[in-house]
Amino acid sequence: MELHKIEKSEIEKDNEKITKNYRQTDAGELVKAKEKELQQTTFEETVQQFSLDTTATSTNLSKEAKAAIKSYIEQVSELNKELEKSDLKTITFGVSFGAKWWEDQIYDYAINPIDSTLISDELEKTALNFATNIAFTPFLHSDMINHRIEKWRNKNFLKTIGYQALRNLSFVVTIDVARISDDESSFEFLESVDGAIGLGYRLGKNFFVAYTWDWQKVRQLRSDFNQNKTQLLDLNGQIVTEIDLNNDTLFRDRVIRKNGVLFIWSF
């Protein structure tokens, strides 16, 4: 049995604890004696060899000793499965696809060429987004988290559930690349740099789901004007006939939050 090694890992400590307890059983005493004969093998390898030796097992081991060998091998196998997860990376890069939506309504403006009234169109709040991502999973290999949960737990399953939940928690940063919305009815590559931050959860080796937030500055009509009705824009006695978003008398910057749900594939 090949045992992976992780320096100072909780899994390695559990492995040593199980091995120490097993060595104190009757089966362990026999395996230690066999290990002396096989100088080039490890204690774990000797356990497997000894358990597969049908003659020695039936001749030398009691029912309890056989059960001890079986239990030891099963426990070490489970630990090795956990150790395989150590290949996961704390920092990963990836791409994502998902939906983002504005928290408030935003508008697009135009002047009616016939009667010079203002036209305010409600823009779609939701759009599909493609983005690049960086995910940081800080507790992935943290023994501290495991020790802390062990102090809190009443039963072993609480330790397992709590540790798995924390070790897969991630912090996510995204940079939007393209967007699909009903307003353009097309696929649009973004010229400006839009991004977001959020919390993610690792569902598999290369797969995350994340909830993100970002705040964007949007040029909108001032609240003195009614955005729900067409109207004439009177500016110092002059009727506005052309929209100029740089006109601070009519428009102002609003910072509006965007929320998003993204599915991330990491490299």
Cβ-contact 95, 133 below 8 angstroms: yes
pLDDT over 80 at 113, yes or no? yes
Q: Which residues contact 110 (CB under 8 A, 6 or more apart)?
A: 118, 119, 121, 243
Residue 229 structure tokens: 């009705």
Please state, as a whole number, how many other Cβ atoms lie within 10 Å of the Cβ of residue 146: 21
Question: What would the pLDDT profile of 90-110 be if each residue is shown by its tens digit?
Answer: 899 999 999 999 999 988 888
Whole-number pLDDT of residue 236: 78
**Stronger pLDDT, 201 or 50, i.e. the higher one:** 201
Query: What's the rounded Cα separation, in Å, for the pair 150 and 176?
Result: 40
Whole-number pLDDT of residue 63: 72
Whole-number pLDDT of residue 25: 74
Question: What would the pLDDT profile of 149-163 be if each residue is shown by its tens digit?
Answer: 555 555 555 556 667
Whole-number pLDDT of residue 180: 81
Please state at what angle helix 10-23 crosses helix 63-84, rounded to 10 degrees: 170
In the chain, pLDDT over 90 holds for what percent of residues? 21
In the chain, pLDDT over 70 holds for what percent of residues? 62
Task: Provide the mean pLDDT of the chain.
Answer: 76
Whole-number pLDDT of residue 145: 59
**Stronger pLDDT, 236 or 114, i.e. the higher one:** 114
Please state at what angle helix 156-167 crosses helix 143-152, rounded to 10 degrees: 150
Confidence of residue 4 (pLDDT cuts 50, 70, 90): very low
Question: What would the pLDDT profile of 170-217 be if each residue is shown by its tens digit?
Answer: 999 999 888 887 655 566 777 667 789 999 999 888 899 999 999 888
pLDDT over 70 at 54, yes or no? no
Please state, as a whole number, how many other Cβ atoms lie within 10 Å of the Cβ of residue 14: 16
Q: Please give the average per-residue pLDDT across 217-233, as a whole number.
A: 76
Q: Please give the average per-residue pLDDT across 137-152, as a whole number.
A: 65
Cβ-contact 126, 135 below 8 angstroms: no
Structure pTM? 0.61
Q: Please give the average per-residue pLDDT across 66-87, as a whole number.
A: 66
H-helix or E-strand containing 265? strand 251-266
Confidence of residue 235 (pLDDT cuts 50, 70, 90): confident
Q: Please give the average per-residue pLDDT across 247-258, as a whole number.
A: 90
